[in-house]
Amino acid sequence: MDERPIGMFDSGFGGLTVARALIDLLPEENLVYVGDTGRYPYGSRPLDEVRSFADEISRYLIQAHDAKLIIVACNTASAAALAPLQDRLDRPVVGVIDPGVQSLLTVTNTGRIGVIGTVGTIGSGAYQDVVARHRPDVELTCAACPGFVEFVERGETRTDQVRVLAERLLAPVVEAKVDSLLLGCTHYPFLSRTIGEVMGRDVVLVSSADETAFAVRRILAGTDRARRASAPAYHRFLSSGDVRWFERLGRRLLGPELLRAEAWTWPS
Ligand code: DGL
């Protein structure tokens, strides 16, 4: 019986898609979530800067909360920092890229697949590498979608402006006639209605959230790291930006578990 929380982080609201899946799958686990909204977006920053943010937040989650497992609930940070974090930290670290690719490869029929993500994620080549390792025979088209994250952070998930931007940015994956598209940024599921309309009904949209939650369950299952529900679990949400905004928009995006947000300040 391990009461220690699972620690997870993202640049902002995006990782809440993974938090939702985790709370649904493992409702008995305690959770501490850091949304680094004071420094978002990560996707346009150099990868070594994102690596240092990921390092800081993971250390904080371990030192201040004794997190038993860390979820890097951000594709950009997973692309930049997953391997070094797994090397350095003395507890399991789970990213979102491998779980997302596994789901994507399961659903494709034609072998024409797409991945969209931030400039940092797509430019890192992380998805291209993982797909090539598992299925070199598929045809992968990647597209960076700068601007999507900013719309989500402002709470604008269904405006005409998002639609216009989506039509322009998704053109390469539409033209490639993919049959399945991985939302390779944890913010993007909040735009899935618009993305789905632009891609067309036949294209399956895949998110890494559920598969990441399953990966966490596999790690905890049958070990003394799992928590058994003796008392209700706690879910804490911290933000390095505007805490009231995090509370308001976060509750709308995640649901009622986000009652309150707390301030978090990165080390200077
Ligand atoms: N949600 C993040 C990701 O999955 C980061 C987006 C950003 O801050 O640019 O890449």
Q: Rounded mean pLDDT of the chain? A: 96
Please check whether residues 65 and 163 belong to one and the same domain: no
Confidence of residue 230 (pLDDT cuts 50, 70, 90): confident
268 within some domain: no
Q: Known catalytic residues?
A: 74, 185
Beta carbons of 137 and 34 less than 8 angstroms apart: no
Q: Is 11 in the pocket of ligand 1 (CB under 6 A)?
A: yes
Beta carbons of 9 and 35 less than 8 angstroms apart: yes
Beta carbons of 104 and 141 less than 8 angstroms apart: no
Q: Is 40 in the pocket of ligand 1 (CB under 6 A)?
A: yes
Instruction: Please identify, by atom number, the ligand 1 atom nearest to the C-alpha of residue 14.
Output: 1
- 8 pLDDT above the threshold of 90: yes
3-state SS, residue 230: coil
Confidence of residue 1 (pLDDT cuts 50, 70, 90): confident
Please check whether residues 103 and 201 belong to one and the same domain: yes
Looking at residue 9, its pLDDT comes to: 98
Please check whether residues 90 and 102 belong to one and the same domain: no
Degrees, nearest 5: CA angle 143-100-203? 60
Mean pLDDT of the region 108-132: 97
Place of tokens 């890097």: 72
248 within some domain: yes
How many angstroms separate the CA atoms of 32 and 19, rounded? Answer: 10
Please check whether residues 199 and 229 belong to one and the same domain: no
Please check whether residues 194 and 235 belong to one and the same domain: no
Eight-state DSSP code of residue 31 = E
Please check whether residues 115 and 180 belong to one and the same domain: yes
Mean pLDDT of the region 58-68: 98
Q: Which of 167, 191, 208 is the last residue of a domain?
A: 208
How many angstroms separate the CA atoms of 152 and 191, rounded? Answer: 8
Place of tokens 């369950």: 217
- Give CA separation, 206 vs 30, 158, 223, in Å: 26, 19, 30
Instruction: Please identify, by atom number, the ligand 1 atom nearest to the C-alpha of residue 79.
Output: 10
Eight-state DSSP code of residue 4 = P
53 within some domain: yes
83 within some domain: yes
Please check whether residues 88 and 176 belong to one and the same domain: no
1 within some domain: no
Rg of the chain, C-alpha, whole Å? 18
| Total domains in the fold of the chain | 2
Beta carbons of 115 and 144 less than 8 angstroms apart: no
Ligand 1 centroid – CA 251 distance (Å): 19
**pLDDT tens, residue by residue, 45-62:** 999 999 999 999 999 999
Q: What percent of the chain has pLDDT over 70?
A: 100
Q: What percent of the chain has pLDDT over 90?
A: 96
**pLDDT tens, residue by residue, 88-115:** 999 999 999 999 999 999 999 999 999 9
233 within some domain: yes
CA neighbor of 216 nearest in space, from 55, 28, 6: 6
How many angstroms separate the CA atoms of 220 and 227, rounded? Answer: 9
How many angstroms separate the CA atoms of 229 and 68, rounded? Answer: 16
Mean pLDDT of the region 221-230: 86
Please check whether residues 221 and 89 belong to one and the same domain: yes
Q: Is 241 in the pocket of ligand 1 (CB under 6 A)?
A: no
Looking at residue 235, its pLDDT comes to: 97
Place of tokens 């998002």: 162
- 254 pLDDT above the threshold of 80: yes
Mean pLDDT of the region 237-249: 97
How many angstroms separate the CA atoms of 215 and 99, rounded? Answer: 7
Please check whether residues 203 and 119 belong to one and the same domain: yes
How many angstroms separate the CA atoms of 34 and 261, rounded? Answer: 10
Mean pLDDT of the region 198-221: 96
Please check whether residues 158 and 246 belong to one and the same domain: no
Confidence of residue 268 (pLDDT cuts 50, 70, 90): confident
- Residue 155 maps to which CATH number? 3.40.50.1860
Q: Which of 208, 225, 243 is the last residue of a domain?
A: 208
Please check whether residues 39 and 72 belong to one and the same domain: yes
Please check whether residues 105 and 184 belong to one and the same domain: yes
Looking at residue 32, its pLDDT comes to: 98
48 within some domain: yes
Q: Is 237 in the pocket of ligand 1 (CB under 6 A)?
A: no
DSSP for 67-89 reads -SEEEE--HHHHHHHHHHHHHH-
Sheet of 180-183: strands edge to edge? 139-144, 112-117, 180-183, 204-207
38 within some domain: yes
> Residue 181 is part of which domain span?
97-208
